[in-house]
């Protein structure tokens, strides 16, 4: 297939592009580089030995995106493009809704106009809100107790995709709910490159280990978990990328929803220890009060994806830490170096 990757220069998009190319597919990246760099696409081309055409356009700008994609052929779209910082979304709700929702509306109209029927969408376990039970399967309720516009935008986009299918039954869409993506390609050539202070745990730990930041703040140690710190389902980004390819290769008319997670939870302190072991560097930390909106435990039940996509994670937390460290230590300033 020839696959358009919106947001394909970003963290998950760049790894997915590489896996698609290695599987013999072709890719076209559309990105506005608001949270990424052209260098990521260049390195994907270098690692794969294949061409990675890049189109610079803002997908939320309908006229600009339509013009930029004029004459560009593709059979399927993986829609990664969007803004993803939870805290920023609380401070700038209209920007988050505009970018995330308008981008998707433009994309769906464009696909329909051109008769491109295959879509994979980046959703998030955040749509489950405050977990009613763990591990969470796809039948877990969604859209209750969401605490930020980012999460609501994912919930709304899932509904927009289902409504679009109702009016356009040829559409084949797969909604992938990611748990916590971490790690990097084992080469250390591509990885997660957050701008400013990282919001997420593993990139923060990596910057402490490499000496860019002094210590980690652990957000709370009195949760009802194994050691009192928050538990999450960390999934290696290469496993996640393979999940996209599995979904794409099985796409059929309809809307399917899958959790992409490992099924195993790890606490903040377990991640700290695993990273110290992988890097050989100390990760000093201080326990601070819980972060507003955080929950004790989020873990995937990935059985549906295991069975229907013939996909499961194969990489451990230790490998995630090793690969994250390979990326961080070789690229302490990310792609800017």
Under rule CB under 6 A, residue 33 binds ligand NAD: yes
Q: Which residue has the tokens 């749509």?
A: 127
Residues touching ligand NAD, count (CB under 6 A) = 27
305 binds, among ligand NAD, ligand WQD, none (CB under 5 to 8 A by kind): none
Q: Look at residues 242, 97, 89, 249 and name the one whose alpha carbon lies nearest to residue 178.
A: 242
CB atoms within 10 A of CB 166: 9
Under rule CB under 6 A, residue 218 binds ligand WQD: yes
DSSP strand pairing (76-79 vs 54-56): unpaired
335 is catalytic: no
Site string for ligand NAD, 310-329 (x = CB under 6 A): --------------------
Sequence-ordered strand ranges (E) for 16-84: 26-31, 54-56, 76-79
Q: Which of 25, 43, 79, 232 contacts ligand WQD by CB under 6 A?
A: 232
Q: Which of 86, 174, 175, 272 contacts ligand WQD by CB under 6 A?
A: 86
SS3 content of the chain, % helix, strand, coil (to 5): 40, 20, 40
291 binds, among ligand NAD, ligand WQD, none (CB under 5 to 8 A by kind): ligand WQD
Q: Which of 3, 86, 99, 241 contacts ligand NAD by CB under 6 A?
A: 99
Tokens, residue 245: 């390819």
Under rule CB under 6 A, residue 9 binds ligand NAD: yes
HSE at residue 87, side-chain half, CA atoms within 13 A, is 7
DSSP strand pairing (266-267 vs 231-232): antiparallel
Catalytic residue among 96, 150, 234, 258: 150
Site string for ligand NAD, 106-135 (x = CB under 6 A): ----------------x-x-----------
Q: Look at residues 78, 76, 88 and name the one whose alpha carbon lies nearest to residue 35.
A: 88
Q: Three-state DSSP class for 221? A: coil
DSSP 230: -
Under rule CB under 6 A, residue 60 binds ligand NAD: yes
Burial class (CB in 10 A: 0-12, 13-18, 19+), 101: middle
Under rule CB under 6 A, residue 66 binds ligand WQD: no
Under rule CB under 6 A, residue 2 binds ligand WQD: no
**Which residues ranging from 183 to 202 are in contact with ligand NAD (CB under 6 A)?**
none
Q: Which residues bind ligand WQD (CB under 6 A)?
A: 84, 86, 124, 126, 180, 199-201, 204, 216-219, 230, 232, 268, 291, 294, 298
**Catalytic residue annotation:** 150
């Amino acid at each position: 297939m020839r696959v358009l990757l919106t947001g394909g220069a970003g963290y998950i998009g760049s790894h997915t592009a590489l896996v698609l190319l290695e599987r013999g597919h072709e890719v076209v990246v559309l990105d506005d580089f608001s949270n990424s760099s052209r260098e990521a696409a260049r390195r994907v081309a270098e690692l794969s030995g294949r061409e990675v055409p890049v189109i610079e356009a803002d997908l939320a700008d309908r006229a600009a995106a339509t013009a930029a994609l004029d004459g560009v052929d593709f059979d399927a779209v993986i829609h990664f493009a969007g803004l993803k910082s939870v805290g920023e979304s609380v401070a700038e709700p209209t920007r988050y809704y505009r970018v995330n929702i308008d981008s998707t509306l433009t994309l769906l109209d464009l696909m329909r106009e051109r008769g491109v029927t295959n879509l994979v969408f980046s959703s998030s376990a955040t749509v489950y809100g405050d977990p009613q039970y763990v591990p969470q399967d796809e039948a877990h309720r969604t859209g209750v107790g969401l605490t930020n516009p980012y999460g609501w935008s994912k919930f709304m986009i899932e509904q927009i995709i289902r409504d679009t299918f109702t009016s356009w039954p040829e559409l084949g869409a797969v909604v992938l709910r990611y748990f916590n993506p971490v790690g990097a390609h084992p080469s250390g050539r591509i990885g997660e490159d957050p701008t400013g202070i990282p919001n997420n745990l593993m990139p923060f730990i990596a910057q402490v280990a490499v000496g860019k930041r002094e210590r980690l703040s652990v957000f709370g140690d009195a949760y009802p978990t194994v050691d009192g710190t928050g538990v999450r389902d960390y999934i290696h980004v290469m496993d996640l990328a393979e999940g996209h390819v599995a979904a794409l290769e099985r796409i059929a008319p309809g809307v399917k929803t899958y959790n992409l997670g490992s099924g195993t939870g790890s606490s903040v302190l377990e991640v700290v220890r695993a990273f110290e072991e992988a890097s050989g560097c100390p990760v000093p930390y201080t326990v601070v009060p819980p972060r507003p909106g955080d929950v004790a435990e989020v873990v995937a039940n990935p059985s549906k994806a295991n069975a229907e996509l013939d996909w499961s994670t194969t990489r451990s937390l230790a490998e995630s830490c090793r690969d994250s460290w390979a990326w961080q230590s070789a690229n302490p300033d990310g792609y800017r170096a």
